[in-house]
Structure 1
């Protein structure tokens, strides 16, 4: 084997701008003449010193390469020939930085490969090597032009020069009219030419061709070999892996392998003057100018992948859609229920004190006679109290003509409606004079009026309560159900004095409602009320509750219910996220070879991570958007059916954000698994 001196490294050539395909002939002659005149020394492109590659095989080992030393200079056309199992493919994987040697040293253009991490190796593959595979290794979901663009995407090339260069290369290789076709629409020879165009995309100085004619007919094979020879003439270093002597005959140098060792190294032709190949790939970007387009490319690839597996994508989306829609719908229902309860409590009033007979913690019966009308009158002197309304209630039958209706009759004062903020719809409320005069008058709720009089006007009519006639002087405005679901309009009001004499009998009240002028004064007024009634009774045989406590309790209950509903919906979203992770893990397994191809063409770990994370994010993002629309639609439908609904901006944003976060979290593990694959193992995956 020929020994070659190793001079000190020379500076790398300055990249030439623009997507150039072929060196100008006069420029090439001038470069070579200058190199010859100055006697400039060139460093080897490939140097292997005692390289071995050992694989464990049970208790023994397999030496795929055994102390191989090889030097390849710039511009050489070398054929590495051997039968299957001789180690030539292993050598190609090591030369192409797809695999690492177990022992020995390997340098590419003076760079020691052993000192490089995975990303540095990917960058070296991207800038230095162009791969031409026996099975083409084109991505079936991309067009010919898009396949050619892949290396420059990972090199950070801008889109316009990248697209232009891809079309120029395809045009040169006779595929200009096939650039929009997918690999399945191309013949074997055409696919291999696309593969060669991809190898040339970054103007890589070394072209590694692994059995490039193995899957082609003889004519297509000859065309590919002629093209490789032409590229070598332009300055590319071509390393051809083959088992066929006829194919190897196209090279100027043939290195034969057997049992992992070089058995011969023959030079068939003199090499031309070696001149470093200038970098002529598309201009590259860095920093944020590179990151944003990289994300855009990842999103485009994600949609392409989703379209390629449309049915599986739909099933994956379904889980996210259901989860997001559930969150929005259930939160809307929960918020609607809370708003309805608060509205009904607000109808009662939030600055009220309700005084009931019976000590705290003791259940009071309806016949508890500890609370008297005089207690209510004594409270009118407390500063800050606006209205006091004692109440005595009972269930009685009201009769008008032949119509009977069983309802709640409440005896109270003229302040009752003011204390309850309850307006009159028709007629008037009885006055304090009516209470003092024991007037036989009555005010009806909407439900009672409708059941007794139908569509007729009840004002001025007389109804019987315990066979005593009462004149209807007013109709209350409709209030609907209260916070406990009871119909507030199913009531009739009479003066308390009249009720004691003609309806209830004994003079005690069931409750006293006190309206406080200012809600901030409620604690003080409550303390004064408690003191006054305790002094009157000489015992604390009553209870004072304020409606703010009712409101607080109701809100806590509704918040708990909303939280439960939200948790149920969140669980469904979590299950959907697990489904996304499962699908992405399956996708990584199915696309192992694709990952290997991307790594061989220069994809770093971050590129693979970005791609698979982006795919998960796109799936969850699309599912989240559809879920938001569906959730709002279901909420609107429920509202049309009479369910109380409150739609706000927060639940859709929260649900969509959770879906997006689900994609980020559950897409990380599959993305990490994909990024951690060994490129040589991934390429060999069937």
Structure 2
């Protein structure tokens, strides 16, 4: 008959730098299915190392280890995990229960890694705990259970996947005498049901419960004698068949998510601090891009309203050496008339401005007077709210008429009184109000565009401004595709008229392109600043995961002992990092949208689009993935025996 477990000349050597210590020296041993074996030895005898090799938690340095006649040497880590999952159940002296999980959830762990459906594993866990008189403790956590109860939960976990071989490492060492007797009674009962029991102990009294005693001393077996004949293997064969039928391939991802939430909740304050970096980063990205896009769209809308078929002619400041507050005398109204004769020109609107004091009744108000021509509303895409605009007759007659902006009208004419037909004093000169412009609001620079009074250019030049030069001439072209040629023609015309290169022309389509490029650069800068917060948040995620791996090293060992593969451990800790990032990203999105809404309520232009929100959330998710990978990988590469021995 082939032995269930067979060791041939097994040695184990540990290395510490240049020093090598051989702990096991040529161990040879056969254990049949269904045996109850006690391995007894004092501390330092090598019995725990032997148990780790028997349970595939560690591998021998040399020699052969066979299970069911199959050599274990050369197995990959995932193959060893599958072997532990199918064959072994572990009962530890310190119980090694997961502190954040309930009794039922602890028992379910091996079945999770075996891929057993949730309902099936819950029913099996409840049945096992019920058979161990823990049916009323299903939802209790380890700190709510006595030592004996915790050990019974550990035994139920060992039986979850069938447990052909139960490896019990000092199972009574941390218990009082009565609880210890109850645990030994349970082990004897499992033996009677066909389980192979391997008991590791230093107590000869405990070892006397076994049918076979193997004594180990200084890494060598010094005695091996059976107290009873080896049992029939029929029951053990039944267990083997049951385990094969219950095995599966993958762990439950949804369970990994639940584990992640439990672990994060267990260190809630630390988790919240870690979330802050992600929240601030994502919130900054969403808010900054929303406000930046809103400001950009607002300015572009105004430029578009002016038209991409416009040219703005101004005096050149390159060679001007005038004093403070002066302006070069270059452009004159007749220049606008000459420009009208250039092919492809629809209109040319000259303007001159000056600060004036307007009085109505006992109200004085300082505003800007703008001398212009009848084509002004068309050039500026600015309509009338009431009345009429300046016409050519007003220009020819030097008529003292004015059209008020909304701010001036509301300031001078209180209680909503109509200003039409009323006279106002402009620098003590009476002007009749003939119209009120529609509301325009603030400009991109924050200036109030409605704080203006429009008068005929001829009247303003003679009565208000005391000068004949104009500040700007706005030109509209008929064919926008030929705007560059028209611009060159106008420039040549003015250079010839003035006998000097004293003017400059701005193409509004070029202004739009330049502004778009500048604003995109600014948004990129703002996004980069916000991304730094995400980077800080990512470092926080890595920090919490590294600390979590260190604090939960023993838990990782328990999971590996119960059948978790490297990718299961990697997935669990990676999901924890992703959960932190996803929660932080969601909160950050809400925060960013709230800041944007608040800015909008205060009158700032804000544009909410799905793109920046999706980008910010995706970045937070990617942050968790990138910064969570290294700690998760470190966790998955721990050796089971080393992890279980961690303090």
How much has 1:363 moved relative to structure 2?
Answer: 4.9
Paired position in structure 1 for 2:383: 423
Residue deviations 1:456-481 (CA, integer Å, cap 9, x gap): 43322233445543322122222233
Query: In structure 2, do the counterparts of structure 1 residues 173 and 499 end up closer, same or farther at CA, with 3 Å as the change threshold?
Result: closer
Paired position in structure 1 for 2:644: 683
Distance 1:653 1:226 in 2: 60
For the 8 Å contact 2:320–2:328, the answer to whether it is kept is no
Distance 2:16 2:410 in 1: 93
Paired position in structure 2 for 1:373: 333
Distance 2:16 2:420 in 1: 104
How much has 1:421 moved relative to structure 2?
Answer: 1.3
Computed over aligned residues only, the root mean square deviation of the Cα atoms, in angstroms, reads 2.3
Query: In structure 2, do the counterparts of structure 1 residues 499 and 110 end up closer, same or farther at CA, with 3 Å as the change threshold?
Result: same
Distance 1:255 1:560 in 2: 77
Paired position in structure 2 for 1:496: 457
TM-score, normalised to structure 2's length? 0.93
Paired position in structure 2 for 1:577: 538
Q: Alignment partner for residue 475 of structure 1, among 436, 453, 460?
A: 436
How much has 1:604 moved relative to structure 2?
Answer: 0.8
Paired position in structure 2 for 1:315: 273
Unmatched 5+ residue regions in structure 2? none
Query: In structure 2, do the counterparts of structure 1 residues 454 and 346 end up closer, same or farther at CA, with 3 Å as the change threshold?
Result: farther
Paired position in structure 1 for 2:122: 163
Distance 1:63 1:458 in 2: 105
Equivalent residue runs for 1:301-340 within 5 Å: 301-340=259-298
Q: Alignment partner for residue 257 of structure 2, among 296, 299, 302?
A: 299
Query: In structure 2, do the counterparts of structure 1 residues 177 and 383 end up closer, same or farther at CA, with 3 Å as the change threshold?
Result: same
For the 8 Å contact 1:158–1:283, the answer to whether it is kept is no
**Does 2:511 match 1:557?**
no
Equivalent residue runs for 1:365-444 within 5 Å: 367-401=327-361, 403-444=363-404
**Does 2:312 match 1:350?**
no
Paired position in structure 2 for 1:115: 74
For the 8 Å contact 1:206–1:238, the answer to whether it is kept is yes
Equivalent residue runs for 1:146-295 within 5 Å: 146-275=105-234, 276=237, 277-281=239-243, 283-286=246-249, 290=250, 294-295=252-253
How much has 1:60 moved relative to structure 2?
Answer: 4.9
How much has 1:515 moved relative to structure 2?
Answer: 2.0
Paired position in structure 1 for 2:527: 566
Equivalent residue runs for 1:128-139 within 5 Å: 128-139=87-98
Query: In structure 2, do the counterparts of structure 1 residues 59 and 314 end up closer, same or farther at CA, with 3 Å as the change threshold?
Result: closer
For the 8 Å contact 1:397–1:466, the answer to whether it is kept is yes
**Does 2:41 match 1:86?**
no
Distance 1:106 1:674 in 2: 27
Range 457-466 or range 193-202, more displaced: 457-466
**Does 2:405 match 1:445?**
yes
Query: In structure 2, do the counterparts of structure 1 residues 60 and 580 end up closer, same or farther at CA, with 3 Å as the change threshold?
Result: closer
How much has 1:265 moved relative to structure 2?
Answer: 0.9
Query: In structure 2, do the counterparts of structure 1 residues 301 and 466 end up closer, same or farther at CA, with 3 Å as the change threshold?
Result: closer
How much has 1:285 moved relative to structure 2?
Answer: 4.2
Distance 1:562 1:385 in 2: 37
For the 8 Å contact 1:345–1:483, the answer to whether it is kept is no
Paired position in structure 2 for 1:674: 635
Range 44-53 or range 642-651, more displaced: 642-651
**Does 2:564 match 1:603?**
yes
Residue deviations 1:137-186 (CA, integer Å, cap 9, x gap): 11121121211111111112222222222122222222223222222222
SS in 1 for 2:225: strand
How much has 1:602 moved relative to structure 2?
Answer: 0.8
Aligned length: 639
How much has 1:187 moved relative to structure 2?
Answer: 2.2
How much has 1:599 moved relative to structure 2?
Answer: 0.8
Residue deviations 1:50-104 (CA, integer Å, cap 9, x gap): 1111224676543321111111122222111111111111110111111121222
For the 8 Å contact 1:345–1:482, the answer to whether it is kept is no
Distance 2:241 2:62 in 1: 32
For the 8 Å contact 1:242–1:248, the answer to whether it is kept is yes
For the 8 Å contact 1:388–1:416, the answer to whether it is kept is no
Range 349-358 or range 652-661, more displaced: 349-358
**Does 2:488 match 1:527?**
yes
How much has 1:254 moved relative to structure 2?
Answer: 1.0
Paired position in structure 2 for 1:11: none
Query: In structure 2, do the counterparts of structure 1 residues 221 and 406 end up closer, same or farther at CA, with 3 Å as the change threshold?
Result: closer
Distance 1:142 1:555 in 2: 56
SS in 2 for 1:353: strand
Distance 1:285 1:87 in 2: 34
Unmatched 5+ residue regions in structure 1? 1-41
Q: Alignment partner for residue 630 of structure 1, among 591, 597, 606?
A: 591
Query: In structure 2, do the counterparts of structure 1 residues 121 and 363 end up closer, same or farther at CA, with 3 Å as the change threshold?
Result: farther
For the 8 Å contact 2:405–2:439, the answer to whether it is kept is yes
SS in 1 for 2:240: coil
Query: In structure 2, do the counterparts of structure 1 residues 458 and 260 end up closer, same or farther at CA, with 3 Å as the change threshold?
Result: same
TM-score, normalised to structure 1's length? 0.88
Query: In structure 2, do the counterparts of structure 1 residues 324 and 367 end up closer, same or farther at CA, with 3 Å as the change threshold?
Result: closer
Paired position in structure 1 for 2:508: 547
Distance 2:553 2:174 in 1: 22
For the 8 Å contact 2:32–2:230, the answer to whether it is kept is no
Distance 1:121 1:317 in 2: 37
**Does 2:446 match 1:485?**
yes
Range 259-268 or range 363-372, more displaced: 363-372
How much has 1:266 moved relative to structure 2?
Answer: 0.4
